[in-house]
A and B are shown apart, each in its own frame.
Chain A
Amino acid sequence: MSALPVPDGGRAADATAAQPGHPPKAADPDILTVRNLALGIATSARRVTRIDDLGLTLRPGEMQAVVGPSGCGKTSACLALIGWNRPNVQVLGGDVRLLGNALLGTPPDRLKRLWGRDILYVPQSSATALVPSRRVVDQLTAFPGDDRAARQARRRRLGDAFQALGVPGFGESRLAHHFSGGQLQRSLLATVFATRPRLLVIDEPTTALQPSLKTQVMALVKARLSEIGAAALVVTHELDFFRDQVDGVVDLTTHIVSQPDRPAGPAAVGQTGKSVPAPTAVRRHNGPAERTTADHARGASVAADGLTVTAQDGHPIIRDVSFEVRPGTCVALLGPSGAGKTTVLRTILGQHGTASGRIAVDGRDLPLQIRHRRRQQKRWIEYVPQSVRPHLNPALTVGYLVRRRLRQAGRPHTGDQPAEVLAALRLPTHYLDKPVDALSGGECQRLGIALALASAPRILLLDEVTASLDVATAMVVSEALEAIRNDRRSTILLVSHQPALVQRLAEATVELRDGVVVGGADPYRSGAGGAGGPSPPDRTEEARAYP
């Protein structure tokens, strides 16, 4: 990873750019100056967050972080800075200058020439930022106005960047779904190396990456910044990580005039905590002996035996994965980005047509394909994906979703119940009337967990659920999850790069690498995690497979 992709400057490609070949560290003007910027951001039909008096200065080579709680308008504000107003955003006043030229009020056709050339935006949600049916590399190298030579130069530099960032499969015409979440995030970030922007807006660049990779990736990005004399705004909630990385922090909360839809502070914790049973009420069932109908509300044991999934082209994605989770415990699936963790979860959900092996729930075989499962078996399992938003029907209201899950779980779904479900994740009651469409990414994430808990599943599959949340919200989520674990109502299978969450929740771990179980820790019993051990991890690029 030491081999930095030091692009040759790629002058061929950038001859058409507005400022070709700026010598770095010259007595350049400030890249971006923002003064007294005031924004109105509509967070719901009635509420408007007002951000006032926002100011910052970015010098060449600098990187600053924009932080704030989820749903406060970080992304909206940063997009407004570069002239892209989302429908719910209104610029109320202030001054934004790029290299001394006013950016606000620039006509759209001139802005369009800036975007992708002088200004580069790296979006947050890697899955939705790309067209699913077009090759990822083609999309990342498509810049308007490129001629053939420029496109090829761009492609070459993107290839170098893929290699440096450790993303496999550059030359394989892959589509977005052939990459894992972390790989997609890095491939989007690779555009930074294929362009010569002056200003970068990078939205949550490291949420899907493990800590060691985060540092590497950000080091590369910073090296690139100083190389091309650009400056970057990083939208993030991982302030702990970025504090050492950035040259300055812009905290949006200090600029917010009217509070956005947020639950009250710590004072509310005591009340809302009620809906989550206290950790002291630990009831442990002794094994899966008695199987009554009431068992539905109790965690089930899950055993995977020799799970193997092959991609369409024959590459194995996961091979001979075996592990066992005892009823009501929490096991974490660990491993580097692209190791096949999500594939394991999706196989348990019956989503892989090529899966072979055995999955047993409470000692009974669970069909590997979802279409062979009975409705009741499907209802045992709840899944919270990495990015909840696209997994929720945007046309439905929060209240409808909550009530439906409560009803399906046979729990009371009238009166205060739905509000209590939301309160467990500190979502305010009036959100019940909101359409899912109106929620921010972080709010969707919390809602996803709230919905999963509302169903009282026997098995709960969590895929990087806190990765896109700010620290405070992630705390709320892990508290709620811990309460569930302590109550032993659900067996939890957790995929996370965040050591804090794993440490807090997981009682055992299973470690995957290149689709093979390479280890694990089970304090109660040995042999649970290491069943797949004998098969040596194949480290060739071939075996990395499509994650």
Chain B
Amino acid sequence: MTRRMIVFCLFVLFFLVAPSVFGTGAPDRYDGLPFDPPSATHLLGTDYLGRDLGRQILNAGRTTLVICIVATALAFALGLGITVLSVLVTGIGGALLTRSMDALIAIPGLIIAFVLVAALGSSLPVLILVITLVEFCVIFRTLRGPTAQVMAQPFVAMSRIRGEGLIYIVGRDVWLNIRPYAVVELVYRFISSLLFLSALSMLGIGVQPPASDWGTLIKLNAAGLLLGSPAPLLPGVFIVATSLLALWTVAGRSSPTARMIVKE
């Protein structure tokens, strides 16, 4: 756990607890006129209904981050599992698995989203499912190379010769050596799912009002652009800031010299 990771975790934690601390704000309580500019009482101004935008953003932040983190974690677990499986299963089974993943990558994410949301309706679990489906095959594609490479190393053959079990080979030999790649990939997928979720919400098939995420806020406040209000831009600033912070967390981690060491 580096200092940067701690910073990122605190950032996420802040958005998870902030709505409870600062109050969620009743959806029907209006704090001022629509699209008020930032002021002492409303630090970020007000939104299209005259509600405090700062509070709306904190509220939406919780939803956004929960969906993204859960979806990324699921996608990562699924992707890593299938990666290991595809390397272990040789012959036609492994080839079939790899090819079907390729096919899944070939389908545009938005189309998957449209179909699933049309079929199942837009709810939190469905959104998480959509993002997981879109992202996990990319994780598979990225991690398969390093995993196959590590599996071909003499030390893995040596572990097999010594009668080490699958858990040791996957957990010690493979995971420890692909971990630098995996950590970077995890962060890229988090950013990717953040952007994807925001895009879905912008298009109106993501998080539905009265619940909101940052993408929804951009969509709802879009009219403010004509009035010179910063309201439609500010949620976007948070999306960008979160992405950049996540990137900064792993900056320089992908280099092969950045090895992590386990101590028993």
Partners in one complex: yes
Chain B residues lying within 8 Å of A455, measured Cβ to Cβ, are 162
Chain B residues lying within 8 Å of A377, measured Cβ to Cβ, are 163
CA distance A393 to B170 in the complex (A): 12
Task: From A379, A383, A391, A437, give the contact of B259 (CB < 8 A).
Answer: A437
CA distance A388 to B178 in the complex (A): 21
0 or 1 for each of B134-172: is its CB under 8 Å from A? (1 = yes): 000000000000000000011101111111010000001
Given A397-B262, A400-B264, the answer on whether A391 and B158 have CB atoms closer than 8 Å is yes
Check if A393 sits within 8 Å of B162, measured CB to CB: no
CA distance A399 to B263 in the complex (A): 8
Check if A379 sits within 8 Å of B162, measured CB to CB: yes
Check if B260 sits within 8 Å of A381, measured CB to CB: no
Check if A390 sits within 8 Å of B264, measured CB to CB: no
Cβ of A118 under 8 Å from chain B? no
Given A379-B162, A381-B161, A391-B155, the answer on whether A403 and B264 have CB atoms closer than 8 Å is yes
**CB-nearest residue of chain B to A448:** B158
Cβ of A7 under 8 Å from chain B? no
Task: From A350, A391, A397, A403, give the contact of B261 (CB < 8 A).
Answer: A397
Chain A residues lying within 8 Å of B158, measured Cβ to Cβ, are 383, 385, 391-392
Cβ of B173 under 8 Å from chain A? yes
Check if A390 sits within 8 Å of B153, measured CB to CB: yes
Q: Write the nearest CB–CB distance from B221 to chain A, whole angstroms.
A: 48
Given A393-B173, A397-B263, the answer on whether A378 and B161 have CB atoms closer than 8 Å is yes
Check if A382 sits within 8 Å of B162, measured CB to CB: yes
Q: Write the nearest CB–CB distance from B254 to chain A, whole angstroms.
A: 15
CA distance A317 to B128 in the complex (A): 56
Chain A residues lying within 8 Å of B161, measured Cβ to Cβ, are 349-351, 370, 378, 381, 383
Chain A residues lying within 8 Å of B163, measured Cβ to Cβ, are 373, 375-379
Given A370-B161, A437-B259, the answer on whether A393 and B264 have CB atoms closer than 8 Å is no
Among B161, B179, B260, find the residue whose CB has the most chain A CB atoms closer than 10 A.
Answer: B161
Check if B262 sits within 8 Å of A396, measured CB to CB: yes
Chain B residues lying within 8 Å of A392, measured Cβ to Cβ, are 155, 158
Interface residues of B in 23-68 (CB under 8 A from A): none
Given A379-B162, A379-B163, A403-B264, the answer on whether A393 and B172 have CB atoms closer than 8 Å is yes
Check if A390 sits within 8 Å of B155, measured CB to CB: yes
Cβ of A87 under 8 Å from chain B? yes
Task: From B157, B259, B264, give the contact of A395 (CB < 8 A).
Answer: B259
Cβ of B12 under 8 Å from chain A? no
Cβ of A28 under 8 Å from chain B? no
**CB-nearest residue of chain B to A387:** B154
Task: From A376, A383, A399, give the contact of B264 (CB < 8 A).
Answer: A399
CA distance A485 to B259 in the complex (A): 38
Task: From B153, B259, B263, give the contact of A400 (CB < 8 A).
Answer: B263
Q: Write the nearest CB–CB distance from A406 to chain B, whole angstroms.
A: 12
**CB-nearest residue of chain A to B264:** A400
Chain A residues lying within 8 Å of B172, measured Cβ to Cβ, are 393, 395-396
Q: Write the nearest CB–CB distance from B185 to chain A, whole angstroms.
A: 17
CA distance A399 to B264 in the complex (A): 8
Q: Write the nearest CB–CB distance from B154 to chain A, whole angstroms.
A: 4
Q: Write the nearest CB–CB distance from A282 to chain B, whole angstroms.
A: 28
CA distance A47 to B261 in the complex (A): 18
Cβ of A435 under 8 Å from chain B? yes
Cβ of B177 under 8 Å from chain A? yes
Check if B157 sits within 8 Å of A393, measured CB to CB: no
CA distance A420 to B179 in the complex (A): 32
Q: Write the nearest CB–CB distance from B224 to chain A, whole angstroms.
A: 52
Cβ of A394 under 8 Å from chain B? yes
Check if B264 sits within 8 Å of A378, measured CB to CB: no
**CB-nearest residue of chain B to A395:** B176
Cβ of A433 under 8 Å from chain B? yes
CA distance A316 to B28 in the complex (A): 85
Chain A residues lying within 8 Å of B259, measured Cβ to Cβ, are 394-395, 435, 437
Interface residues of B in 230-264 (CB under 8 A from A): 257, 259-264
CA distance A271 to B93 in the complex (A): 56
CA distance A400 to B161 in the complex (A): 18
Q: Write the nearest CB–CB distance from A41 to chain B, whole angstroms.
A: 16
**CB-nearest residue of chain A to B168:** A404
**CB-nearest residue of chain A to B175:** A395
0 or 1 for each of B165-198: is its CB under 8 Å from A? (1 = yes): 1000000110011010000000000000000000
Check if B160 sits within 8 Å of A395, measured CB to CB: no
CA distance A385 to B257 in the complex (A): 25
Q: Write the nearest CB–CB distance from B152 to chain A, whole angstroms.
A: 8
Task: From A370, A382, A394, give the contact of B160 (CB < 8 A).
Answer: A370
Task: From B160, B173, B176, B263, give the contact of A433 (CB < 8 A).
Answer: B263
**CB-nearest residue of chain B to A438:** B261
CA distance A417 to B56 in the complex (A): 61
CA distance A117 to B53 in the complex (A): 67
Chain B residues lying within 8 Å of A433, measured Cβ to Cβ, are 263
CA distance A379 to B155 in the complex (A): 16
26 CB-based A-B contacts, threshold 8 Å: A349-B161, A370-B161, A375-B163, A375-B165, A378-B161, A379-B162, A382-B162, A385-B158, A390-B153, A390-B155, A391-B155, A391-B158, A392-B158, A393-B177, A395-B176, A395-B262, A396-B172, A396-B176, A396-B261, A397-B264, A399-B263, A399-B264, A400-B262, A400-B264, A433-B263, A437-B259
Contacts A375-B163, A437-B259 known; 18 new A-B pairs at CB < 8 A: A370-B161, A378-B161, A378-B162, A390-B154, A392-B155, A392-B158, A393-B155, A393-B172, A393-B173, A393-B176, A395-B172, A395-B177, A395-B259, A395-B260, A396-B262, A397-B262, A399-B263, A399-B264
Rank and list the top 6 A-B pairs by shortest CB-CB distance, nearest first: A378-B163, A395-B176, A375-B163, A390-B154, A391-B158, A391-B154
